[in-house]
Amino acid sequence: MNNSSLLYSYWEQLYPDVSTVKLDDFIASLKQTEVEVHESDWYKDAIVYALYVDLYNEDFNGLTEKLDYIQKLGINCLWLLPILKSPMRDAGFDISKYDRIRPDLLGLTDDCTKEEQEIVFGSFLKEAHQRGIRVIFDVAINHSSDQHPWFLDSQKTEETEFSNFYIWRDKPDEYLDARLLFKGIEDSNWEKLGDRYYFHRFFSFQPDLNYRNPDVLLAMSHNLLYWQSVGVDGFRADAIPYLWKEDGTSCENLDLTHVIVKFFRAILDYVNPGSLLLAEACQKPYEVVKYLGNNDECHAAYHFPLMPMMFKAIAQGNSQPIKHTLSRSVTPAIGNKNQWFTFLRVHDELSLELVYVSEEDRAFIHGSYCHKPEWDFRVGEGISARLSELMEKDVNKIALSYSIMLTLLGTPVVYYGDEFGKLNDSDFYKEQIQLTGKDDTRFLVRGRIDWEQLELDLQQPDNFHTEVFNTISGLLNTRKEHKVFGRGALDFVDVKTQSNKVPQQILAYLRTYENEKVLVINNLSSEIQIIRNPLEESNLALLTMNGFTMDNENMVLQSRGFAWFLVV
C-alpha cells in the first residue's frame, strides 16, 4: 500500500463518519518526492546533544558560534529543546504558535516575518549540516499553550473555526479514569474557565488538543511538513501516549493514538522519507515498542526504564538491575530499522514514575540520590538534579555512568553541560517560579552556561569541571569512531574471579556488528575488583579506560573503574 492509500486508510479508522474531502485537498496540496528516496537510518550512528538555545548561548547566532565546540565534543546530532513560540511557562513546551520560532532566539523583533525567520534559522541549519551535525527539535503535539490563537478563539461563545480544537465540557465529568500526571502540582485534569471546563493532562495552562476533530490532525500535519521543508532532520514527538481520549479508559496508549502517529509518519514519508520521528512515551518497554509499529510509526523511542536502573545498579554495586531490564522479559526486540535512545539526564527530573519502576525501586533510588529535600519532584516520583549533583561530584562515578550509557544499546543523549559537570542552578529555579507561578523543581536542572567562567575553569587542570570534561569528551569521541555501539548486538558476559566466582559488581558485555567486536567491562562497586580475562583466547586492544590495569592473567578495576577493548 502506498503512502497515499495509507493516509486514506488511517483517516477512515479515525473518522469513519467524516467525508474525505478535506483529506483529498490536503493530499493534493502536498509536493510528493519525484524520485525514489532510500530512507536513511542515520540516527543509529548519532550521538545526540540536548540543549535550550537561549540558555546555551543566548540565540541561534550564539549557538552557531559554539558549533565547533559541539563538533569537537564528538556530537553529530543536536536536539533543540523547545524553540517554538511560547509564553515560556513550561520551558517552551507550552507552544503558542507551531510554525514560528521565538523571535528572541532568532535575534529578531516580535514583528519579524516568516521569511526573516527562515533566513536566520536556515543559516544555522546550513552551518550545522556542513559540520555533519543533524538537527531535531521538540513538538508538543498533545497540547498547546492557553495563549495559542486556536485556544483563545475556542473560548468564544459563538461557533468559530476553532471551537472544537480543544476538549470543552459544561461539567468535569468525563475522562475521570485518566491519571493525574502532575501529582502535587495540579489537582485535576479539568480546569474551569468562565462557565465551562477544558481538559488537560499536564499543566492547567496547557489544554489538550482534540484529535477527534480532523482539522486538528491536518493542522498539526501542516506544521510538521513546514519544518521538514525548512530542513529540520526530525522531531521529538512529545507526550504521544495521550493523543486520543475515550471515556472509561485511562486515556493512554489507545489504539487510535497509534493511528494518529501512523498518519504523521506517512505524511512525512510521503513528502521526504528520512525525517526522524522520536517517541517520547513514558511507558513500559512493551508499550513503548508499539509506537514503533511495523516501521510505520516512530523510528525510535526513549528507553525510559533503563535510565533509573543504571542509577540503581551503581547505587547497589550490582549488575542485575540493568541485565534484567534489558532481558527479553522486559525489553522486547525491535525491528532492524528501529532504535532505542538512552540517556542519564535530560531536561526533566530523574523520573521514577510507577508506570515503569516498582514502588520498591522508586523508594530505593529516591533514597539513594535525592540528597536534598528541595530536589523532590511529584511527591517522590522524581528527583530534580543534574548528573554531577546526583553523583555528589564524584568524577569516577560520573565517568562510570557515561561508560555504561555510551556502550549499552541504542543512541545516547547527552544533556548540555553534563560534559563538564554543570551543577543545579538555584537562581534560575527561583527566577522561573516568579515567571510561571508554579513550583516546578525541574528548573533546577536547567539554567544558563557562563562561558567566560567555564573557559577559566577549563584552563585549570585540577578543576572538577576540567576533569569531567576531559573524561567525557574522550569517551564521546571514542564512541563516535565505532559503529558497533549504535548498531551492534549486545551479549552480556559473565566474568570470573581467580576463585571462579562471578562477581555481580561487574557489568561486562560484548557489542558485535559486522566484523567489529568490542568488550566493555564496568566495575559498579566502590571496591577494587580483580577478575580473569574473559576472552583469554583473543587479542584485546584497549580503546579507553578509567581506573584499570591488566597483566597476563588478571584485570584489576579500581572503584568505579571501566575499560573498553577492541577484540582483534
Average pLDDT over all residues of the chain: 95
Report which of 102, 97, 105, 104 is spatially closest to residue 53, judged by C-alpha positions: 105
Half-sphere exposure of 426 (CA within 13 A, CB side): 4
Q: Show the domains of the chain with their CATH numbers.
A: 42-144+212-480 (3.20.20.80), 488-567 (2.60.40.1180)
CA–CA distances in Å: residue 320 to residues 35, 312, 367, 457, 498:
49, 10, 19, 38, 21
Cell of 211: 484529535
Tens digit of each residue's pLDDT (9 = 90 or more) over 498-555: 899 999 999 999 999 999 999 999 999 999 999 999 998 899 999 999 999 998 779 9
pLDDT at 311 over 80: yes
Cell of 404: 555504561
**22 alpha-carbon distance from chain centroid:** 33
Which uninterrupted H or E stretch holds 395?
helix 395-407
* Confidence band, pLDDT 50/70/90 cuts, at residue 121: very high
Tens digit of each residue's pLDDT (9 = 90 or more) over 226-239: 999 999 999 999 99
Ranges of beta strands (E only) in 82-147 are 84-85, 97-101, 134-140
% of the chain beyond a pLDDT of 70: 98
- pLDDT, residue 31, reads 73
- Any residues with CB less than 8 A from the CB of 35 and at least 6 apart, and which? none
pLDDT at 36 over 70: no
Q: Evaluate whether 125 touches 70 at the Cβ level (below 8 Å).
A: no
Q: Which residues are catalytic?
A: 238, 280
* Confidence band, pLDDT 50/70/90 cuts, at residue 438: confident
DSSP state of 40: P
Mean local confidence (pLDDT), 77-81? 98
Nearest 5°: CA angle at 525, between 523 and 527?
100
The letter for the amino acid at 147 is Q
pTM: 0.95
- pLDDT, residue 39, reads 60
pLDDT at 430 over 70: yes
- pLDDT, residue 34, reads 44
CA distance 293 to 61: 38
- How many of the other CB atoms lie within 10 Å of CB of 456? 12
- pLDDT, residue 35, reads 44
The letter for the amino acid at 418 is D
Q: Evaluate whether 209 touches 200 at the Cβ level (below 8 Å).
A: no
Phi, psi of 293 (to 5 degrees): 60, -145
Tens digit of each residue's pLDDT (9 = 90 or more) over 327-362: 999 999 999 999 999 999 999 999 998 888 999 999
DSSP state of 186: B
pLDDT at 454 over 60: yes
The letter for the amino acid at 130 is Q
Which uninterrupted H or E stretch holds 235?
strand 234-238
pLDDT at 37 over 70: no
Mean local confidence (pLDDT), 239-263? 97
Mean local confidence (pLDDT), 389-396? 98
Higher-confidence residue: 356 or 198? Answer: 198
Q: Which residues pair with 530 in a beta bridge?
A: 556
pLDDT at 157 over 90: no
pLDDT at 77 over 80: yes
pLDDT at 38 over 80: no
